[in-house]
Amino acid sequence: MTGAFDLVPAIAVLPLVSFVIALFAGKYMPKKGALAGIAATAGSLILSLWVALTVATGDGGYNETLYTFVEGTGTFSLELGVLIDPLSALMLVIVSLISLLVHVFSLGYMNDEGETGLPRYYAGLGLFTFSMLAFVFASNILMAFMFFELVGLCSYLLIGFWFREEGPPSAAKKAFLVTRFGDYFFLVGVVAIFAMFPATAGRFAGEGSFPAAAQAAIESGQTFYGFEAQTAITMAGLLVLGGVMGKSAQFPLHTWLPDAMEGPTPVSALIHAATMVAAGVFLVARMYGFYALSPTALGIIAFVGGFTALFAATMGVVKQELKQVLAYSTISQYGYMMLALGGGGYVAAVFHLTTHAVFKALLFLGAGSVIIAMHHNENMWDMGGLKDRMPVTYWTFLAGSLALAGIFPFAGFWSKDEVLFEVLIHGLGDSPLLLGGYAMGLLAVFFTGFYTFRMVFLTFHGEPRSDVAEDPEPVRWNVKGPLAVLGALAVVLGAINMVPIKKLTGAKIDYLHQWLDMAPEGFLTSVEHYAGKTGLLHDYAGYTKGYLAGETGTVLIGAAISLGLALAGVLLAYRLYNVPRPEEHTDRLGRAKTILMHNYYQDEYQVWLATGVTLPVAKAADTFDQGIVDGVVNGISSVSRFSGRGLRRLQTGVVSNYAALLTLGLVLLVAAFGLMGGWF
Amino acid sequence: MIDVQWYLLLSAGLFCIGLFGVLTRRNALIFLMSVELMLNAANINLIAFSQRFGHVDGQVFALFGMALAAAEVAIGLGIILVLYRNFGDIDVTAPTTMRW
Amino acid sequence: MRRPRLAEDLNPVAGLAAVALFGVLAAVFLSAEFAFQNPGFSADAAITEGIGYALFDLVGQSDLATEGFLFAFITIAIVLDAALDGAIMLARRDDEEQTLPDGGERR
């Protein structure tokens, strides 16, 4: 019986097979490739659970190179490999579960609605699932980069699914270009890592990994191209962060995500909520041993995350379309995860990643259910009163919203609370700048609660504001099933890491922390290695913990403040919007609303960067190329043409001239021979 | 006996007179006559050396040369006839169509 | 008919090349050293006979002939014949009517 670890590549290959089947045989199949996708992702889920079980029962992990492209002698190698440790096993389960549920949901959203071109859709989903799963178990940063790009491609293909309309292809292009811009820096970072630590071949884990080599470089005082080791590591980390910011939609590369909502809602649920945008955060967590060596990089990550959390939450407050609110919410929540990673809360970030994947996918699928019911009208101001007409959708959506807002005891409360707690205590320790990030994250909690419940009340409560809302289209089991599964998870998932209760009672219920600590010693990816008493964060980044009123006191105070703010936001939304005929209260914000509706003019700014800055530079470069580079070449050729035009006038056509030239030549030749031969 | 170099000088002089005619005269018939002069200068050269070495080969070559000169003139006159027909003039500087 | 006049439409510049060639050749010939002797023909040698025998490959018949030139002789005959034909072909007009041998024209 082959071990679970030998079958890990099959986890990714199964969806690849479903991609091929859907692409070539999809049009002959009854559900146009959906069943192949469902079977493949179910298989991947089963294998992922088995792998996770193997990791849990003490087998630890698996870090093998499966295929070497280029064997470098005395320099780096390029290879493909598999790394299974608790983090990647967890992510495999999350990705395959959400993908399976999205495939089932697509039966209701796409097949039952009579959409065309479905083989292409399921092929895209299959290819995406393959790329994401392969990214998760990638053993080195080059392989991670390859699949990072591939998921970006699948995102482009799926956002632009309805390419015959105007919006989707433009949104797909924008998503691809903005993430590509970030990926350029990522590539430079990958090259930098390969250049600085060639013997590691970019591996993430183990003694031969680049985080271990980086740590050794700092210890031994090695310099890279004139920079100290820690500075060089910071620079490489920041370069890779470019790709992370693009993919996880952090400021300023967040502009693509709201436009990506042009794609079908199951795509938004899978890619732009739970998995692809998680790739950036997952990458930082994967190479946390590298980032933990550089307090500057961590500080920047925390600040960007905190700022994005607040920034996006303010924009979500005024949006009128259902999916737009969720898109800004996604940007904001990934800001929390980045804040956690920068603030030294590795477990908190992974916890929030897990719970967010569940409840954001739930909210998007719920939105999809509403959109089906409302005949694809997304404007919340045309909805209302749907809670009586769509009970399953309502209750699951409510569960997801409570989780998103961070209300006790739903999943989001525990994870968001832990994020803020970790940032607070490290801020109170030796890194006071983190308190700025903490403040921004805390303020964003208020806005999160407000916009989430504004969304819920406008959509489901009150009286129906249009005919379609009065009589919505019913949805079938293939929509309600995934919603129910995710709804149940959103309620109970918090139990995997209830750190406040552990700190208060001492019970060992922080299962996620223990799970992530299960990584084998040799991998150097355990929580203990990162965040323990003598872990990397303490020794190299200088993170220590400070408390306000003792550890338990800080826990309670932090939880109380964040819960209080969340409830305040919910209460404000309740007062304003849980009325039979709500009004657009956001109009009272006046000029502020205009700025928020225009997304702080970030889109216009980025377009200006392209047309006002890049285009003139490109034109200048083009002029240089045509004028100088081509000009030199043309000049050389013009010398020969000009001299040719002059020389050809020798052919006058008059025979006597030719004879004269012959004679002259003969004279000169004989004279030359005579002089050289000494005839005279 | 006269030294061979005087014969060579005579032959060179005759050749260059013929060459002078080829280079400067415009009438095609005079051009042909100059070419004949050059051929005969070569004949003188051949006979001079035949006389010097005591071989009769040079004189036989000279005979052949004269025969070829005659053949060449026959063709040349034919060409001049065609030239006159096409350009209306036997001036050698008139046909300049094969030029740049 | 006028008496012959000196040609005035000459292009003297080209002629300088011919003069230069004469100068060079003269310089070469007058400064050359002819190392070996000048045997010449004996006074009573039958030169013309010798030429005739050489032309017809009858080398043994004369002590002056050194090799046979029959092949070249025949070739020259062919060349002269070809030249004659060529001259006739060049002189023929393309559009002219076939002239009859007695000078009349074909009807």
**Contact B100/A655, CB-based, under 8 Å?**
no
Q: Which CATH number fits domain B26-97: 3.40.1710.10, 1.10.3720.10, 1.10.287.3510, 3.30.70.890?
A: 1.10.287.3510
Contacts of A2 (CB under 8 A, 6+ apart): none
Query: Mean of the pLDDT values across residues A458-484?
Result: 86
**Contact C17/A657, CB-based, under 8 Å?**
no
A447 band by pLDDT with thresholds 50, 70 and 90:
very high
Q: Of A32-46, A60-74, A81-95, A415-429, give the lowest mean pLDDT range.
A: A60-74
Q: Which chains neighbour C (Cβ–Cβ under 8 Å, 3 or more pairs)?
A: A, B
The residues with which A81 forms a beta bridge, in sequence order, are A65
A672 touches chain B (CB under 8 A): no
Task: Give the nearest chain C residue to B48 (CA atoms).
Answer: C40
For the stretch B21-34, pLDDT in tens is 999 988 999 999 99
Query: Mean of the pLDDT values across residues A92-98?
Result: 94
The Cα-based distances of A643 to A226, A454, A567, A633 in angstroms read 53, 81, 87, 16
Q: Of A5-19, A175-189, C57-71, give the lowest mean pLDDT range.
A: C57-71
Find out whether A207 and A524 touch, Cβ atoms under 8 Å: yes
Rounded to whole angstroms, the Cα distance separating A439 from A459 reads: 31
- The neighbour count for residue A409, using CB atoms within 10 Å, is 13
Q: Which chains neighbour A (Cβ–Cβ under 8 Å, 3 or more pairs)?
A: B, C
pLDDT over 90 (residue A537): no
Find out whether A284 and A244 touch, Cβ atoms under 8 Å: yes
Rounded to whole angstroms, the Cα distance separating A9 from C35 reads: 97
Find out whether A241 and A193 touch, Cβ atoms under 8 Å: no
> Using omega within 30 degrees of 0 as the cis cutoff, is the peptide bond preceding A258 cis?
no
Q: What are phi and psi of A475, to 5 degrees?
A: -110, 155
pLDDT (0 to 100) of residue C107: 58
Q: What percent of chain A has pLDDT over 70?
A: 99
For the stretch A184-208, pLDDT in tens is 999 999 999 999 988 888 888 888 8
Which residues constitute the domain of residue C41?
12-106
DSSP A226: T
Q: Which residues of B touch C73 (CB under 8 A)?
A: 64
Q: Which residues of A touch C17 (CB under 8 A)?
A: 660, 663-664, 667
The Cα-based distances of A68 to A79, A186, A640 in angstroms read 4, 22, 51
pLDDT over 70 (residue A561): yes
Q: Which residues of A touch C31 (CB under 8 A)?
A: 679-680
pLDDT over 80 (residue C1): no
Find out whether A400 and A456 touch, Cβ atoms under 8 Å: no
B98 touches chain A (CB under 8 A): yes
The Cα-based distances of A248 to A238, A245, A259, A344 in angstroms read 15, 5, 14, 19
ipTM: 0.91
- In a domain? residue C1: no
A340 band by pLDDT with thresholds 50, 70 and 90:
very high
Total residue length of chain A: 680
Q: Which of A414, A159, A447 is nearest to A328 (CA)?
A: A447
A643 band by pLDDT with thresholds 50, 70 and 90:
very high
- CA end-to-end span of chain C: 41
pLDDT (0 to 100) of residue A365: 93
For B19, which of A652, A655, A663 is closest by C-beta distance?
A663
Rounded to whole angstroms, the Cα distance separating A457 from A501 reads: 32
B46 band by pLDDT with thresholds 50, 70 and 90:
very high
For B81, which of C19, C50, C91 is closest by C-beta distance?
C91
Nearest chain C CA: its distance from B73 CA (Å):
9
A427 band by pLDDT with thresholds 50, 70 and 90:
confident
Number of domains in chain C: 1
Identify the residue with better confidence: B77 or A477: B77
For B24, which of C14, C21, C47 is closest by C-beta distance?
C14
Q: What percent of chain A has pLDDT over 90?
A: 46
A176 band by pLDDT with thresholds 50, 70 and 90:
very high
- In a domain? residue C7: no
Nearest chain A CA: its distance from C18 CA (Å):
7
For the stretch C9-61, pLDDT in tens is 677 788 888 999 999 999 999 888 876 666 777 777 788 888 888 888 888 88
SS3 of A363-410: HHHHHHHHHHHCCCCCEHHHCCCHHHHCHHHHHHHHHHHHHHHCCCCC
| Residue ranges of A 631-650 with Cβ closer than 8 A to chain B | 648-650
Place of tokens 């006028």: C2
Q: Which residues of B touch A652 (CB under 8 A)?
A: 96, 99-100
DSSP A543-604: -----SSHHHHHHHHHHHHHHHHHHHHHHHHHHHHSSSS---GGGGGTHHHHHHHTGGGHHH
Q: Which of A146, A156, A163 is nearest to A124 (CA)?
A: A156
Chain-centroid distance, C-alpha A362: 18
Treating both helix axes as pointing N-terminal to C-terminal, what angle do A411-428 and A346-373 enclose, rounded to 10 degrees?
A: 150
Q: Of A270-274, A564-568, B62-66, give the lowest mean pLDDT range.
A: A270-274
Q: Which residues of B touch A656 (CB under 8 A)?
A: 22-24, 26, 92-93
DSSP B88: S
Contacts of A150 (CB under 8 A, 6+ apart): A127, A131, A134, A135
**Contact A663/B95, CB-based, under 8 Å?**
no
For the stretch A124-136, pLDDT in tens is 999 999 999 999 9
**Contact C31/A671, CB-based, under 8 Å?**
no
**Contact B100/A660, CB-based, under 8 Å?**
no
Q: Which residues of C touch A657 (CB under 8 A)?
A: 14
pLDDT (0 to 100) of residue C34: 77
Q: Mapping DSSP to helix (H, G, I), strand (E, B) and coil, where does residue A70 land?
A: strand
**Contact C17/A660, CB-based, under 8 Å?**
yes
- The neighbour count for residue A14, using CB atoms within 10 Å, is 26
- In a domain? residue C55: yes
Rounded to whole angstroms, the Cα distance separating A93 from A87 reads: 10
> Using omega within 30 degrees of 0 as the cis cutoff, is the peptide bond preceding A252 cis?
yes
Domain boundaries, chain B: 26-97
pLDDT over 60 (residue A1): no
Top residue of A651, A655, A679 to mutate, by most chain B CBs within 10 Å, is A655
The residues with which C105 forms a beta bridge, in sequence order, are C99
For the stretch A34-46, pLDDT in tens is 899 999 999 999 9
Chain-centroid distance, C-alpha A234: 21
C103 band by pLDDT with thresholds 50, 70 and 90:
low
Rounded to whole angstroms, the Cα distance separating A383 from A470 reads: 9
B78 touches chain A (CB under 8 A): no
pLDDT over 90 (residue B55): no
Task: Give the nearest chain C residue to B73 (CA atoms).
Answer: C83
pLDDT over 70 (residue A102): yes
pLDDT (0 to 100) of residue A182: 92
Query: Mean of the pLDDT values across residues B71-86?
Result: 93
Query: Mean of the pLDDT values across residues A361-380?
Result: 90
Q: Which residues of C touch A679 (CB under 8 A)?
A: 28, 31-32
Q: Mapping DSSP to helix (H, G, I), strand (E, B) and coil, where does residue A138 land?
A: strand
**Contact B95/A653, CB-based, under 8 Å?**
yes
pLDDT over 70 (residue C106): no
pLDDT over 90 (residue A672): yes
